[in-house]
Amino acid sequence: MLLTLAQARPVLWRYASNVPYSAASNDDIKAFDDTLNRLLERLLIEGKWRSCFRRVTLQTHGNTLTLPRNLSTCLGCDPICSTGGGGFPLSIYSRWFEFAASGPGLTSDCARACSIRGLLPVSDFAQTFADPTGTFYLRAKSTVASGRGITLAGGLDENGDPIDGNVKLLIANGTTTTTQQYTEMPFIEKAVTGASVQLYSVDTTTAVETLLCVYAPSETVPQYKRYSVPAAADGDTFACLCKLAFVPAINDSDLIIPSVTDALILGLMSFQFRDKNDAERSALYMGPNYPGRGDSTAKPVMAGAVDVLDSDRAEDDSAEVPLLNFPTDYAAGNIYQVH
C-alpha cells in the first residue's frame, strides 16, 4: 500500500526525530520531511523497485521525446502512432551510439537518421518539451502572481549574438511576456510559486503561441531527460515503460515512493548512524547485505533497507517470464546474475 506524506509521518517519526510527534513544531516537521526525502532519493538511486515503474503515453516534438519531471529514464518504448515505428518495440541505444566507430554517426544527417529505429539519449538537462525555432519572445501564464518570477540566463538574441546578463520574466495572475527577443533558448530558473506556470514561445512575426512546458509550483530548476527518435515525425505517440524520478514529497497528499515501511525504517536508522559517524552500522542498515546467499555456514547477516526492497521486487520477478532464461543446472544458469 502506498503511503502519503501525512500517513508516513506518524509511522516513521521516531526513527528520524528525538522530538515526540505530538509536540512537533513546524520546523520539526520540515526537518523530518527533508530527512525522509533524502532517503527516498537514495533508495530510488539504489535500484528499480516494485513501485517505481510507470507506463505512460508520450508524444514527440519534432523528432525528440522528452520525459516529464517525475520520470527518470525510459526502459521500453512501443510506437502507438508513428511514421517510422511500424508497431514493434524500439531499441534504446547508449548515449555513445552516434560516436561509436562502427555506429551511424550524427543523426542530424537525415539519410542516416531514417535508418535508425530506436531512442538515443541526447540530454539529461532539457528544460522544455519543445524547442522553438525562428525569432521569438517568451511568455508566462499563471493563476497566482509570484514576486521573483522566472530568471532567464543567456541564450541568443534576434541577431544570433549571446545575451549578457539575466532577463526577468515576471509571473502574474494572467500573462507576461519578455521584451527581449530570442533565437536560442536561455537557461531557466523559476521561483517556487503558488500555482503551476505555463511557458510559451511567441513568434515575433506571426504572434503565434507555442506551449513549451508546464512547470510545477515547487519546480525551481527544470531538468528533464530527452531522447532523439531519428525515424519519428512531430506528433508521433509512443507507449513507454519508465522508471520514476525522485520528486520531493512536499504536500501532505504527496505519495511516498517506495512505500515499503520496513525499508523506510531501516533507511532512517541508517541515516541516524551516519549522523553519528558510525559508517559500519549505517552501511549495515542500508544494505545491500545479501542475507541468505553465499556460504551457509557464515554468520547470519541482517537485511538492510535495500535487501527488503529487493525481496519485495522478487515477488514480481518470480512470477514473470524472463526475456532470457537458462536452466539452473546448465551452463550459465549457475551464474547468479543470469536468470
pLDDT digits (tens, 9 = 90+) for 117-164: 789 999 999 999 999 999 999 999 999 998 789 999 999 999 999 999
Is residue 156 a part of any domain in this protein?
yes
pLDDT for the residue numbered 315: 78
Question: Do 9 and 87 have their domain in common?
Answer: no
In terms of DSSP bridges, do strands 224-228 and 174-177 run parallel, antiparallel, or are they unpaired? unpaired
Q: 334 and 272 in one domain?
A: yes
HSE-up of 153 (CA within 13 Å, CB side)? Answer: 6
pLDDT of residue 95: 87
Per the structure, the count of domains in the chain is: 3
Shared domain check, 3 and 33 = yes
Where among 244, 277, 300 does a domain terminate?
Answer: 244
Between the alpha carbon of residue 225 and those of residues 65, 236, 242, 277, the distances in Å are 9, 18, 11, 35
Domain match, 209 and 232 both: no
Mean pLDDT over 282-292 rounds to: 90
What is the pLDDT, as a whole number, of residue 28? 96
Contact yes or no for 244/72 (Cβ under 8 A)? yes
User: Which residues in 32-71 are b (16+ Cβ under 10 Å) and which e?
Assistant: bbebbbebbebbbebeebbbbeeeeebebbebbbbbbbeb
Q: Is residue 233 part of a domain?
A: yes
Q: Of 182, 209, 244, which residue is a domain's last? A: 244
Identity (one letter) of the amino acid at 268?
L
Using the predicted structure, report yes or no on whether residue 251 has a pLDDT greater than 60. yes
Residue 137 pLDDT: 98
Phi, psi for 331 (deg, rounded to 5): 45, -120
DSSP-derived letter for residue 195 is S
Report the C-alpha gap between 179 and 169 in whole angstroms: 9
Residue 14 clears pLDDT 60, i.e. is over it = yes
Rg, C-alpha atoms of the chain: 24
Amino acid 112: pLDDT: 57
Q: What pLDDT score does 316 carry? A: 76
Could you tell me if 89 and 196 lie in one domain? no
**Band of residue 239 on the pLDDT scale cut at 50, 70, 90:** very high
Least confident segment among 91-100, 124-133, 195-204, 276-285: 91-100
Do 289 and 311 touch, CB atoms closer than 8 A? no
Q: Which residue has the higher pLDDT, 218 or 292?
A: 218
In this structure, the answer to whether residues 81 and 207 fall within a common structural domain is no
Same domain, 74 and 151: no
DSSP state of 238: E
The domain containing residue 111 runs over which residues?
A: 53-127+226-244
169 found inside a domain? yes
* pLDDT of res. 309: 94
Q: For residue 251, tell me if it sits in a domain.
A: no
More confident residue, 104 or 240: 240
Domain check: are 98 and 238 in the same one? yes
120 and 231 together in one domain:
yes
**Any domain includes 83:** yes
Residue 322 has pLDDT above 80, yes or no: no
The dihedral built from the CA positions of residue 90, 94, 97 and 98, taken in this order, carries a sign that is: positive
Q: What per-residue confidence (pLDDT) applies to 4?
A: 96
Statement to judge: residues 31 and 93 lie in one domain: no
Residues 231 and 88 in one domain: yes
Is the Cβ–Cβ distance between 230 and 107 less than 8 Å? yes
Whether 249 is covered by a domain: the verdict is no
What is the structure's pLDDT at 339?
46
Q: According to the per-residue pLDDT averaged within each range, which of 223-232, 265-274, 320-329 is highest? A: 265-274
In a domain, 250, yes or no: no
Asked if 123 and 233 sit in the same domain, the reply is yes
**Higher model confidence: residue 230 or residue 203?**
203
pTM (2 d.p.):
0.84
Last residue of a domain, one of 209, 244, 279: 244
Which residues make Cβ contacts (< 8 Å) with residue 224, sequence separation at least 6? 66, 67, 68, 69, 125, 126, 127, 129
pLDDT digits (tens, 9 = 90+) for 51-80: 899 999 999 998 899 999 999 999 999 998
Domain-located, residue 206: yes
Closest by Cα among 206, 162, 192 to 180: 162
